[in-house]
Amino acid sequence: MHGLVNRTIQQFVSDTYGAERWSEVALAADLTFAEFEAMLVYEEALTRRVLEAVCTVLDKPRAEVLEDIGTYLVSHPNAEAVRRLLRFGGEDFVEFLHSLDDLPDRARLAVSDLELPQLELREHAADRFSLTVNARIDGFGQVMIGMLRSLADDYGALALLEHRGGQRGFEVVDITLIEAGFAQGRSFDLGATADRAAEATSASGALVAPGHGN
């Protein structure tokens, strides 16, 4: 598992709940080191163990933790680089949704060995979409729900999201756009250079997927 995955889980816990909570997670997961290195590769079993430890220490269901990680990646000030990368996908929420198919390739422009799940958006009507997440790991659908909900707020859109479930590496997220201009979105300069977008990917140390298991 790419170190960015584990590093992001660590950052989520530390930034949201404090360094002491991360120390509890590290102890519960039997880690022999204090911090993950973003550019190393770790066994997937270790990622699963860390995620299970997070759920235990925080006393939260796995799905809730994964969604919270997705929310963190878009809304927390320390993850601003991730938000910037995602917002380069479009001027409004619908345009952003249509850019999701290209997100794994955009991420690899900065981190060549970072493999994100394949994403496929389907438009069923002007206000109804479904996002298929194809990954060799489970749970990225819940991470995407957290990210998409936060990005809808970021764009000022009102959207309903539902995890339809999945099997054999596939998860489906249903997206219903209630109102595109529901509120004023957060400011963002779409005219910034492509270089800044690449820098955002490199600096983020994020855009991750969780480990296997429940």
Q: What pLDDT digit, counting tens, does each position of 1-20 carry? A: 778 889 999 999 999 999 99
CA 169 to chain CA mean position, Å = 17
CATH classification (class only), 1-214: alpha beta
pLDDT at 200 over 50: no
pLDDT at 60 over 70: yes
> Sorting pLDDT into bands at 50, 70 and 90, what band is 194?
very low
Cα–Cα distance, 42 to 38 (Å, whole number): 10
Cα–Cα distance, 46 to 113 (Å, whole number): 19
Q: What pLDDT digit, counting tens, does each position of 22-32 carry? A: 999 999 999 99
pLDDT of residue 209: 44
pLDDT of residue 116: 82
* Residue 147 near residue 71, CB atoms below 8 Å: yes
pLDDT at 214 over 60: no
Question: Which residue's entry shows tokens 């990622």?
Answer: 47
Q: What pLDDT digit, counting tens, does each position of 64-104 carry? A: 999 999 999 999 999 888 888 888 888 899 999 999 999 88
* Residue 172 near residue 128, CB atoms below 8 Å: no
pLDDT of residue 183: 65
pLDDT of residue 101: 93
pLDDT of residue 2: 77
Looking at per-residue pLDDT, the higher value among 60 and 41 belongs to 60
* Residue 101 near residue 120, CB atoms below 8 Å: yes
Cα–Cα distance, 107 to 115 (Å, whole number): 8
